[in-house]
Amino acid sequence: MNDELVIALSKGRIYRETLPFLKQAGIEPVDDPETSRKLILRTTHDDVKLLVIRATDVPCYVEYGAADVGVAGKDVLLEQSGGNLYEPVDMGIARCRLMVAAPVGSDLSGRKRLKVATKFVRSAQRHFAARGQQVDIIKLYGSMELAPLVGLADCIVDLVDTGGTLKANGLAPVEHIADISSRLIVNKASMKLKRERVHRLIDKFAAVAESREAA
């Protein structure tokens, strides 16, 4: 049995904020993803590797066993996970909110059907279906705030951190869908076959998350 531990991460904020968790587990990257072109990074342990991939691909790599564990935002998991992953630790990093936002002063309550621009299609569909609201979902991949300004959509569903971008474009959050943070996710087979190593990693990550929550 291959005892190598493979951890899937995405570049940017999640990678940076995961480093203290890895350090607590005694794992530190040798290669820098910002300067290296490598997609498989070495660590201070010969039998631990980091995969650096797109955030939206992390659940797929873990679910199908190309990685044993990974770190993914709950927004990505809500969109993609088929329930074949464990989510043992809410790491409490990369926090934001998934919100419905609309132009300031808009009244969406009386509309029989709304046009909603988002890249979070499943989350938007579930949210409006629970309300009994009919919607047409327009899938976009960026610049979500532009859609209501040019008449493409009545509102958007997007991640909101400080709300500064919404305000700068004349929009305001009107409905809360979910609180988002990054989670440690684990492949089900790895949880059994590499039980000791995976559980040790889970315990270390949980300890860091708990200490941060208590601080």
Both 42 and 81 in one domain: the answer is yes
pLDDT (tens, 9 = 90+) of the chain, 215 residues, equals 468 999 999 988 999 999 999 999 999 999 887 788 888 999 999 999 999 999 999 999 999 999 999 999 999 999 986 678 999 999 999 999 999 999 999 888 878 899 999 999 999 999 999 999 999 999 999 899 999 999 999 999 999 999 999 999 999 999 999 999 999 999 999 999 999 999 999 999 999 999 988 87
Distance (Å, rounded) from C-alpha 120 to C-alpha 139?
A: 8
Model pLDDT, residue 82? 66
Both 38 and 105 in one domain: the answer is no
Both 20 and 47 in one domain: the answer is yes
Both 102 and 73 in one domain: the answer is no
Q: Show the domain range for 157.
A: 96-179
Both 192 and 149 in one domain: the answer is no
Both 70 and 25 in one domain: the answer is yes
Both 9 and 106 in one domain: the answer is no
Task: Strands of 21-154 (E only): list them.
Answer: 40-42, 48-52, 69-73, 85-90, 96-103, 113-118, 134-139
Both 83 and 188 in one domain: the answer is yes
Both 115 and 46 in one domain: the answer is no
Q: Which residues are registered as beta bridge partners of 102?
A: 172
Both 13 and 117 in one domain: the answer is no
CATH number for 151: 3.40.190.10
Number of domains the chain is built from? 2
Model pLDDT, residue 84? 81
Both 14 and 73 in one domain: the answer is yes
| Residue 4, both tokens | 């190598």
| Beta carbons of 74 and 24 less than 8 angstroms apart | no
Model pLDDT, residue 147? 97
Both 128 and 52 in one domain: the answer is no
Distance (Å, rounded) from C-alpha 96 to C-alpha 181?
A: 7
Model pLDDT, residue 81? 62
